[in-house]
Structure 1
């Protein structure tokens, strides 16, 4: 079965007009009724960096998680953000973007990779105290425009460091949509074999014509955890001016049905969530 993380946070974070807090809450509550494994709902970062998500605490207060099997994930950019997220026990996962590109790490979090790894270590200790789990996204994992090193060997070096720290969930992330089957397959094949105790996920960005080959390559190489966003909206606002979109959740569901790995979802709730998705994004 495919395990899906729905990422409205990634769809919303770079949206040019502020999405009203009430609309965010309604949309996220609709998604919670669908039955995804995880909901990447918001981030605790500087409102100067991501003004669209300045209301994450208020949004969280409006979410009805009592009747949902879906677990919440919040993204942070530093230890301070993680400490804020840790104050909310309804958040199960704390996600941190660790770039294999030194240039992008500085651009994304204003820290070096060495400093970021120190944050990862401290956040891992924090999660051990609170009972939450850290998810580390290895961003720029399939290429970058800066000339920095990347590839399966680099991803392996970073994973080894994360393994030493006790990180149990790692998402290989295609921040700019540069991945191809030729780069996706070896990365997942080698890492899933070398670190069977780590849960690897795929956070892939794509164009409308390349989604299937990317999903297929990751799936065939042993990855069964995927991030998506309904409609394929969004991307990383720190990465580039022109963005490829997130992996559309609809396409992930199509693929899962084709290979007999469809998750059990509330289809009526999914229709309601899609209606909210179109109201928020397609109407602007």
Structure 2
């Protein structure tokens, strides 16, 4: 049986895109529910300026307040050296640090007001500090499959940035379909090439469902040999820039698809769905995950099958 790893990113990538700030106690309750579902990796917080993303300004309080199993690695996202300073001040609260860049210049400027070259120069400095602190260094490359401002992003540019991250010490490289511009054929071609070029690094797929192709892209990536994925319960999330960029693929939909295919995730699908339904109640609106409505597929044996 094939097995995959799924990192839950809803507590960071999802919560940051909500129009209203979620109460700290509710965030803690939701993350604790995810911890009970069997995740071994959860992205919990981001050390960005609170005036830029106020929805995540309570990151330290959330990190201190959650009660998840010791087997769960907590990841934080850091935008620059100042953010890393703030993160390392509470270094005992997490095990993984994600640094990120957009593969397209325009998106990178609009997202963090820097050129790609300026970001990567800072990455090389931060990478040394992360490794020296015995933390896992994870890389995230946004707009890997297309940019809403520039259109097609050359694969070689994306994989070149990935190699720069690996040289800086990253052991995991995540490729983000930030505004849902990928398709299954390109996902297959891309991950075949990425796995070949990035030998020794964990290659992670991060698809958004903006145009309804998220699960198909995940399947194509799996067929190409990718076994590491990121998703968000309830299909929460999106991209702050530009407007109209809807959420990540729903974790419960992804897990359900994999389980139906005989792919082991190590997750309790019912518990993931329960957490997504809890998020729906906290937010006071319907979420777009299919599994919230339909629940998991359950196959019941016929009498003849039971007697075999």
**Which position in structure 2 is the counterpart of 1:44?**
47
State whether residues 78 and 109 of structure 1, in contact with CA within 8 Å, keep that contact through their aligned partners in structure 2: no
Quickly say closer, same or farther: Cα 1:228–1:282, change in 2 above 3 A: farther
CA distance in 1 between counterparts of 2:269 and 2:142 reads: 32
The aligned residue for residue 32 of structure 2 is 29
Instruction: Give the drift of 1:84.
Output: 2.0
SS state at 1:13 partner: helix
8 Å Cα contact 2:232/2:249 also seen in 1: yes
In structure 2, C-alpha distance between the alignment counterparts of 1:176 and 1:32, rounded to whole Å: 28
- SS of aligned partner of 1:172: strand
Q: What TM-score do the two structures reach when normalised by structure 1?
A: 0.93
Question: How far apart are the structure 2 equivalents of 1:218 and 1:58?
Answer: 36
Partner residue in 2 for 1:84: 86
Calculate the TM-score normalised by the size of structure 2.
0.86
Assess if the C-alpha contact under 8 Å between 2:128 and 2:169 holds in 1. Answer: no
Unmatched 5+ stretches in structure 2: 287-308
The answer as to whether partners of 1:32 and 1:68 remain within 8 angstroms in 2 is no
CA distance in structure 2 between the partners assigned to 1:273 and 1:222 by the alignment:
29
Residue 276 (structure 1) aligned with residue 278 (structure 2): yes
Residue equivalent to 1:202:
205
2:174 paired residue number: 171
Aligned residue number for residue 77 of structure 2? 75
- Supply the distance in 2 between the matched residues of 1:68 and 1:240 (Cα, whole angstroms): 37
How far off is 1:148 after superposition? 6.3
After TM superposition, the structure 1 stretch with the greater mean CA deviation from structure 2, 17-26 or 209-218, is 209-218
Counterpart Cα distance in 1 of 2:103 and 2:276: 34
Question: Which residue of structure 2 lines up, in the alignment, with residue 193 of structure 1?
Answer: 196
1:226 aligned residue: 229
Shift of 1:100: 0.8
Deviations 1:54-100 (A, max 9, x none): 111111110114x3422101111111112222232231111122111
Q: Write the distance in 2 (CA, Å) between the matches of 1:214 and 1:201.
A: 13
1:192 Cα deviation from its structure 2 partner: 0.3
**Match in the other structure for 1:262:** 264
SS in structure 1 at match of 2:108: helix
Q: CA deviation at 1:40?
A: 0.8
Report 1 or 2 for greater relative contact order, CA contacts < 8 Å, sequence distance ≥ 6: 1
Q: Please give the secondary structure, in 2, of the residue aligned with 1:131.
A: coil
CA distance in 1, matches of 2:272, 2:18: 22
What is the aligned residue count?
282
Q: Secondary structure at the match of 2:17?
A: coil
The answer for the alignment partner of 2:244 in structure 1 is 242
1:154 is aligned to 157
The 1:18–1:163 alpha-carbon spacing in structure 2 relative to 1, beyond 3 Å, is closer
8 Å contact kept, 2:145–2:152 = no
Determine which structure has more spread, i.e. the larger CA radius of gyration: 2
Offset from partner CA, 1:205-243 (integer Å, 9 cap, x none): 014742331111111111111111111121121x21112
Distance 1:100 1:146 in 2: 12
Note the residue ranges of structure 1 that are not aligned, 5 or more in a row: none
Give the whole-Å Cα distance in 1 for the aligned partners of 2:229 and 2:23. Answer: 28
- What is the rounded CA distance, in whole Å, between the counterparts of 2:154 and 2:256 in structure 1? 29
Separation (CA, whole Å) in 2 of partners of 1:10 and 1:240 = 15
1:164-188 per-residue CA deviation (whole Å, 9 max, x = no partner) reads 2222110010110111112211111
The question of whether the paired residues in 1 share the 8 Å contact of 2:15 and 2:55 is answered with yes
